[in-house]
Every structure is written in C-alpha cells, then in structure tokens.
Amino acid sequence: MFENKETTKLSSYGEFGLIDLLTKNVKPRRSSTLKGIGDDAAVLDLTAGKTVVTTDMLVEGVHFDIMFTPLKHLGYKSIVVNLSDVFAMNAMPSQVTVSIAVSSRYTVDALEELYAGMLMACEQYNVDLVGGDTTSSMSGLMISVTAIGMAAEKDIVYRNGAKNRHLLCVSGDLGGAYMGLQVLEREKAVFKENPEIQPDLSGYDYVVERQLKPEARKDVAEMLKDLQIQPTAMIDVSDGLASEVIHICKQSKVGCKLFEERIPVDHNTNKACEEFNLNPSSAALNGGEDYELLFTVKPEDYEKIKGHTEIYPIGHITDVEGRYELIPPNGESVELTAQGWNAFGNQE
C-alpha cells in the first residue's frame, strides 16, 4: 500500500499515446452521449431536462496522500466525490470529464491503475467518461473531474429552500471517513519509523473503506420519491456535518437546532474514536468526506420518515437567522461552529 514498484515510464508513450492507452476501454453506455472521447469535444444530447454541472479537484498532498492511497481507490474516489454533488442537487449524473496533471515519478502502470478505478466508478454509477486532458506536473498528481447530470426542473433541490420548522435529516452515519484517515495516518507514521513493519489495518475495514473508497448516495433521490417527499434543501457532507448545516442555513437565511445525540455514528466509528481518544460527535461534525446527503423536509413529512432505517432526523430549522445551535445531551445550547475542511486553512 505504501509504495509503487511499477517501472514503465510515461515518456515511453507520450501524451497522445498515453491518452489512447488509458481510454482504450472507454465505451459510451448512455443514449445522451452522441460522441465521447476521440474528437475535439464531446457531443451530448441533454434535452430530457435541466443540466447540472459540477467540478472538483484533488491535489496530491492536499486531498490525498499517495503513500497510503491505492491508485485504483483514488481513481474511484475522484469520480464518486463529483457524482455526490450531482446527487445533492437531486439530479442523476450522466457524463464526466477527467483531466490529470502528473509528474514523471509516476509510471504508465500507475496511471492505468488510476483509470481502472475511474472506469469502475463510471460503470457502478452508469455514467460515461467523455473527455478530459493530460499534462505534466512539477509537483505530483492533480485530478480534476467535471460531472454532468440531468433532472426535471421541478425536482432540482438547492441549498436555499430551508424554512422555519423544517426537519434536518441525514442519509447515513457520519465520522467514519475521518476515523479511517486517523488509522491510515497512524500506520504511515509506524511505516516511516520502520519500513520493515507492514501496516496493520485489521479491524478497521469499515472506517478505512469510508476514507479510501467512499460511495455517493445515488439511492436517496429514489428513496425520497417513493416516500412522496420533496426535500426543501440539500447538500452533500464533504466538509463535515457542522459546515454543511451552516451552508444550508446561510443560503436559506435561517438558523438551526442540531441535536448531538441524534447524529448517527456507526459502532465501528465509535470503537475507533475510543481507541484514539476522540469524541465521536466531533468526528461527525468536523471530519468530513462521508458523502452522505444532508437535507431538509417539511414538518408534515415526519411521519413518512419516522423509523426509516436510512433517514435520520437530527434537528430542525429555526427562524432566527445566523443562530446555529448544537444541543448536547444535557440540553444546554452551545454555538455550532464549522471546524471542518478549509482548503486554504493551512497555508499560513
């Protein structure tokens, strides 16, 4: 996991030869893809509804550590984190483009692993890889993915639709990805101290997978449709629950009450938190990269979600704009603050 032993140099292929190699198995699967890879631009027929577009970038040393991130997992994750944003609009993804900048210390074999993961994600989520770019980098690996999706206009959900008394809900447990990162960082430190000691990840399968190979919640839109619920606001949990709750509140010009004891945390995450002497609620509130969906629903929809195994009511919206409250088990309100991921937080 901590080293790459492949030896085929990028220079042996060149840019266009490398593109041909990495995309030779790409075959369009959607009728809306009229022309994919192979021309100056893709041609898409997106007339069935409104189009949503999102872009994310993953940078080595900032968003991932190649020392403990298998390239196939990284490729898979790079696609999934973009699709999650499409699902957060209550839309369905249809196509992606992928651009990478890569340094000469990477090999052809390594990039084949990376693209194998990307294509696996495309197959899993039924999207087409329709284009992109490759170029050289002086500082490791950078991956930029653009995802395109479709939805009927009436179905699209923004962040700004939350109203007073609307219920805050999340689609699954939180904090696991953050604890997976803690485990991987610990094993990296042990490995750097003594490379003869192999990483021991036994017993941490759940949290490590949440970090290295997350899944986007493609099932939530259909789940809510079956329940005859139209969410009023939605966002994916990529930067920590607290940050995402505040994003919805700011966009909707409302406040909130979030009940700590209602935040869902898996028992595997709890176990890891105990070992690392960390508060499970802090991992869920500030950890990020869980890629669950946070959404609000009208109060009259509570009976539809009551007892649902995949939808967890964790609080409600208030009409006090700018007042974000976290309610601990003792019932005393404290200020909810966003302490999760900040892309520019560590530059100074």
Model confidence at 109: pLDDT above 80: yes
- Of residues 102 and 12, the one with the higher pLDDT is 102
Fold of 10-155: 60s Ribosomal Protein L30; Chain: A; (3.30.1330)
Assess contact for 292 and 169: CB atoms under 8 A: no
CA dist 302 → 40, 164, 166 (Å) = 50, 14, 10
Q: What is the pLDDT of residue 52?
A: 95
| Single pTM value for the model | 0.90
Joined together, the tokens standing for residue 139 give 């500082």
- The pairs formed by 18-22 with CB atoms below 8 angstroms and a separation of 24 or more are 18/108, 18/111, 18/134, 19/134, 21/108, 21/112, 22/111, 22/112, 22/115, 22/134
How far apart (Å, rounded) are the C-alpha atoms in residues 247 and 114? Answer: 32
Mean pLDDT taken over the chain: 90
**Structural domain spans, the chain:** 10-155, 167-335
Mean pLDDT within 70-94? 97
Q: What is the pLDDT of residue 312?
A: 97
Quickly tell me which residue has 């447990």 as its tokens.
Answer: 173
Q: What is the pLDDT of residue 344?
A: 45
Model confidence at 73: pLDDT above 80: yes
Model confidence at 26: pLDDT above 90: no
* Most confident segment among 15-29, 122-136, 231-245, 330-344: 231-245
Assess contact for 338 and 242: CB atoms under 8 A: yes
- Residues with Cβ < 8 Å from 68, sequence gap 6 or more? 1, 2, 184, 185, 187, 188, 199
Among 64-68, 103-107, 316-320, the range scoring the smallest mean pLDDT is 103-107
Mean pLDDT within 265-291? 97
pLDDT tens for each residue of 117-162: 999 999 999 999 998 888 888 889 999 999 999 999 999 999 999 9
How far apart (Å, rounded) are the C-alpha atoms in residues 197 and 204? Answer: 18
Q: What is the pLDDT of residue 42?
A: 81
Residue 70's nearest CA partner among 116, 101, 10, 26 is: 116
Q: What is the pLDDT of residue 15?
A: 57
Residue 28's pLDDT band (cuts 50, 70, 90): confident
Model confidence at 315: pLDDT above 70: yes
Q: What is the pLDDT of residue 265?
A: 98
Residue 81's pLDDT band (cuts 50, 70, 90): very high
β partners of residue 143: 58, 100
Q: What is the pLDDT of residue 342?
A: 55
What percentage of the chain carries pLDDT values higher than 90? 74
Residue 99's nearest CA partner among 211, 43, 27, 22 is: 22
Residue 180's pLDDT band (cuts 50, 70, 90): very high
pLDDT tens for each residue of 184-211: 999 999 988 888 887 788 899 999 999 9
Model confidence at 48: pLDDT above 90: no
Model confidence at 347: pLDDT above 80: no
Indicate if 167-335 has the same CATH topology as 10-155. Answer: no
Q: The domain 167-335 is classified under which CATH number: 3.40.50.261, 3.90.550.10, 3.90.650.10, 3.40.640.10?
A: 3.90.650.10
